[in-house]
Structure 1
Amino acid sequence: MVQIQVTPETSLADAPVRIHVSGLAPTQLVTLHLSLTDERGVKFEARAFYQADEAGEVDLERAAAPGGDYVGVWPMGLFWFLKPEKLFHRLIKRDVMSCPFRFQLNVFDSCHIVISPQLEPLATCTVERWYVAPGVERIPIKEGRVRGALFLPPGPGRFPAVIDMFGGAGGLIEFRASLLASHGFVVLALAFFAYDDLPQVMEELDLGYFEEAANLLLSHPKVRGPGLGVIGVSKGGEVTLSMAAFLEQVVAAVWINGTSSLYGSPLRYKETYIPYIPYAAERVIITEMGIMDNYHVFQDPQNPAYASAAIPVEKARGEVLFVVGEADRSFNSKLFADLAIERMKGHGKKNYTLLSYPGGGHLIEPPGSPLCSISFTRGSPKPVHWGGDPELHAKAQEHSWSEILKFLEHHLGPPSNL
């Protein structure tokens, strides 16, 4: 009798699982097929071909797939190489609290490029992937000007604290914050425009808003302090670097594929005003498939006319971790990281670390997320090109997430009770 064993069957979305198939005939060819229908009704699936060993078993930790959606030994390949049935959809968990992603894993005899409804699986099982650990609490935040969601680990605390932000689409995205909380951090998923009663567009980077959020987080009785961490991707990376430069509360900043100059809106903080570099919207490229390539919209930050728009990262008191996808098609994030580090070096600073990943795209996320190289996004009339090579991006996500967790723990203290 053919059996699939997934260990564990229920886990956090960023945790590895072991997939083992037994009861096959020696050297039998099979197709492993993983599928999921997300909260918007879009189906995602991945398939890989395997050959059983002489004992009639397939262990994904050791077996190499000769074909399918990936090739080689990829223990988590069925999760990392998921593709949407409808083009240009991003797999993203929206409701992180009430239910997990429930995947169906099937084993089929022989190799099948297309899995038709008429095919009968040899074995099947359900795999649950949660974005919150048991006991993590979510509290909506609407206090003063601050809007977002606070995630609290179980137990009395106190815990290290992190502010988590996403990018230029605005709104509130929570899946990374809930995973960080599941690893023992108090995390504020922070919205800064296009959410609740916040402005619909970001006309300026008002650093006072982010200082208010930092102080609110640090005042929570479960937060250890005295400083906190910040993590942001894309526009959130620009904000992260600005917070690190000006706010003494920030002792650890994780910048993921952001900029090191102000783009599209100026920064204002107390008596400080930093002008911005305008977007060159006329440089948008629309591909033959109707995809927006925004790579050249970000004008050269090295142009002397834009020198005053640089974020003064050399003022950062805390540590800064730069995470770069070298195949980022949103903009040249490698250049922005290099310029920031060059500026820090020029002022004798050594409080930086660079993780740069060949083949990594713009949306470097926790390893439970498959590559999204093209997708629709709020405010864009057409799908946007994010970039990334599937296999290299998967490796970048696995490695960078582990390094991010270690970085935050090292500089904020271990995520455990005092």
Structure 2
Amino acid sequence: MVGLSVYPEISLVDEPVKIQAWGLPPEQVITLRAWLKDEKGQIFYSRAFYKADMDGKVDLEKSPATGGDFHGVCPMGLFWALKPAVPFLRLMKRDVMGSPFSVQLEVYHSLVLDALPEESPAATKVIERWYVAPGVQRILIRDGRVRGALFLPPGEGPFPGVIDMFGGVGGLIEFRSSLLASHGFAALALAYFAYDDLPSYLSEVDLKYFEEAAQFLCGHPKVSSDGVGVVAISKGAEMALAMASYLPQVAATVCINGTNAVNGNSLIYGDVLLNGMPYQAEKLLITEYGSLYFTNTMDDPRKPEHQGSVIPLEKARGPILFLVGDKDQNYNSLFFAREAMARAVKYGKKDVYLQCYPGAGHLLEPPGSPFCPVSQSPFFPLPLTWGGELIPHCRAQDTSWKELQEFLSRHIRCSRRNKL
């Protein structure tokens, strides 16, 4: 009888699992397959081929995949390689509190080449992958102009506060905040356009909105009042760098595949105005797969006419960490990060750091998030190219997630509040 074990069967999505199959004929070639349905009912799947050892066992921590969606020893490869049955969809958890992703793991006695096989598996196991730990509390925020969701770890606190933002897709995206709260941070998933009564698209951005969010978080009774961290990706990382440069509440900043200058829309903060560098839409490229290659549309911030768009990061109160994939095909993020580092050196700011991950693309997300090289965006008629290579990208997600948390823990002070 063929058996399949997965440990743990219930876990956070950023935690690794151990997968083993046994009871197979010695040296038999098998298929291991994973699949799930997202909240809209769309199927994401992966499969890999393995050869059982002389004892009829396959252990993903030791056994190399011989083919399929990846090859070599890759214990989490089935999760990393999950891809949509319908092209250009991105797997993204929206309701982090209500339910996990239920992942079905299957063993087949032969090579399975079809995306949706008709034959029955020899063994199955269903596991739960959660985006929130037990005891984490979610509070929907409508405070003044601020719109978002606050995730609080269990306990009295105070907890280090973090503002968490995503990029040009807009809306309210919560899965990284819920995971940060599961690891001890008070995380505010902050929307800044295309949500509730916020503007439906980005035009002129008022940094005072983000300052209100920082003041709200610092003022929460379960959050340290010593200053907050900011974590953001893509267009959000641009906002994060501006927050670090102008807002005294920001104690530490992590910019994931962002820029060092304002692009497109202008940014204001009181009397301060940073004009956005115009996008060069005529330089958009369409790949052979029918997706947009966006990188060329962003101009060079070193040009004299763009000096007023460069974000003055030397003004930042706290340290800044740039996390960059060198195969990013949405932004030329490594170039922008190096320009930021050069400016920091020029102005004598020594606490600006750069971590570059070879083979990683634009969407550097928490571990367990499958590799997504291209997906549809709500504001473009064609899918966007994100770039990267499956194995190095997902390994970078493992590494960067740990480095992100260590950086925030080290640089956000968390003193206890005075009790009245």
Once the two structures are superposed, the pairs formed by residues 11-410 of structure 1 within 5 Å of their partners are 11-114=11-114, 117-410=117-410
SS at match of 2:25: coil
**Contact 2:226–2:414 (CA under 8 A) maintained in structure 1:** no
Instruction: Report the alpha carbon displacement of residue 115 of structure 1 after superposing the two structures with TM.
Output: 5.7
Q: Which moved more, 1:252-261 or 1:281-290?
A: 281-290
SS at match of 2:398: helix
Cα deviations by residue, 1:396-416 (Å, 9 ceiling, x for unpaired):
111111111111111125899
Cα deviations by residue, 1:245-274 (Å, 9 ceiling, x for unpaired):
111111110000111001111221122112
| Root-mean-square deviation (Å) | 1.6
Instruction: Report the alpha carbon displacement of residue 289 of structure 1 after superposing the two structures with TM.
Output: 3.2
Runs of 4+ in structure 1 off by over 4 angstroms are 413-418
Question: Matched residue pairs, number?
Answer: 418
SS at match of 1:273: strand
C-alpha distance 82-345 of structure 1, shift in aligned 2 (>3 A): same
Instruction: Report the alpha carbon displacement of residue 94 of structure 1 after superposing the two structures with TM.
Output: 0.8
**Structure 2 Cα separation of the partners of residues 87 and 367 of structure 1:** 22
Structure 2 residue runs of 5 or longer lacking an equivalent are none
Instruction: Report the alpha carbon displacement of residue 114 of structure 1 after superposing the two structures with TM.
Output: 2.0
**Contact 2:85–2:115 (CA under 8 A) maintained in structure 1:** no
Instruction: Report the alpha carbon displacement of residue 311 of structure 1 after superposing the two structures with TM.
Output: 0.1
Q: Percent identity?
A: 53
SS at match of 2:61: coil
**Structure 2 Cα separation of the partners of residues 236 and 267 of structure 1:** 13
Amino acid at match of 2:196: D
Task: Tell me the TM-score normalized by structure 2.
Answer: 0.97
Instruction: Report the alpha carbon displacement of residue 317 of structure 1 after superposing the two structures with TM.
Output: 1.4
Amino acid at match of 1:89: L
Instruction: Report the alpha carbon displacement of residue 137 of structure 1 after superposing the two structures with TM.
Output: 1.0
C-alpha distance 184-305 of structure 1, shift in aligned 2 (>3 A): same
Instruction: Report the alpha carbon displacement of residue 205 of structure 1 after superposing the two structures with TM.
Output: 2.3
**Structure 1 Cα separation of the partners of residues 333 and 248 of structure 2:** 25
Task: Tell me the TM-score normalized by structure 1.
Answer: 0.97
Instruction: Report the alpha carbon displacement of residue 54 of structure 1 after superposing the two structures with TM.
Output: 1.9
Cα deviations by residue, 1:32-66 (Å, 9 ceiling, x for unpaired):
00001111121111111111222221111111111
C-alpha distance 288-261 of structure 1, shift in aligned 2 (>3 A): same
Amino acid at match of 2:209: Y
Instruction: Report the alpha carbon displacement of residue 118 of structure 1 after superposing the two structures with TM.
Output: 3.1
**Structure 2 Cα separation of the partners of residues 122 and 168 of structure 1:** 44
Amino acid at match of 1:174: E
Q: Which moved more, 1:406-415 or 1:266-275?
A: 406-415
**Contact 2:45–2:115 (CA under 8 A) maintained in structure 1:** no
**Contact 2:225–2:417 (CA under 8 A) maintained in structure 1:** no
**Contact 1:35–1:105 (CA under 8 A) maintained in structure 2:** yes
Cα deviations by residue, 1:136-159 (Å, 9 ceiling, x for unpaired):
111111110000111111111111
SS at match of 2:263: coil
**Structure 2 Cα separation of the partners of residues 212 and 6 of structure 1:** 45
**Structure 2 Cα separation of the partners of residues 34 and 361 of structure 1:** 23
**Structure 1 Cα separation of the partners of residues 290 and 75 of structure 2:** 35
C-alpha distance 414-370 of structure 1, shift in aligned 2 (>3 A): farther
C-alpha distance 204-116 of structure 1, shift in aligned 2 (>3 A): closer
**Contact 1:21–1:59 (CA under 8 A) maintained in structure 2:** yes
Cα deviations by residue, 1:89-146 (Å, 9 ceiling, x for unpaired):
0011011110000010000102222265431211101011000001111111111000
Cα deviations by residue, 1:361-412 (Å, 9 ceiling, x for unpaired):
1111011111111111111111111111112211111111111111111112
Amino acid at match of 2:24: L
**Contact 1:156–1:417 (CA under 8 A) maintained in structure 2:** no
C-alpha distance 413-48 of structure 1, shift in aligned 2 (>3 A): farther
**Structure 1 Cα separation of the partners of residues 94 and 275 of structure 2:** 35
SS at match of 2:45: strand
**Contact 1:241–1:260 (CA under 8 A) maintained in structure 2:** yes
Q: Which moved more, 1:18-27 or 1:252-261?
A: 18-27
**Structure 1 Cα separation of the partners of residues 117 and 26 of structure 2:** 27
**Structure 2 Cα separation of the partners of residues 415 and 225 of structure 1:** 8
Cα deviations by residue, 1:328-358 (Å, 9 ceiling, x for unpaired):
1112101110011100011111111211012
**Contact 1:159–1:417 (CA under 8 A) maintained in structure 2:** no
**Contact 1:218–1:228 (CA under 8 A) maintained in structure 2:** yes
Cα deviations by residue, 1:47-88 (Å, 9 ceiling, x for unpaired):
111112222211111111111100001000000011111110
SS at match of 1:196: coil
C-alpha distance 415-317 of structure 1, shift in aligned 2 (>3 A): closer
SS at match of 2:241: helix
SS at match of 1:70: coil
Instruction: Report the alpha carbon displacement of residue 204 of structure 1 after superposing the two structures with TM.
Output: 1.7
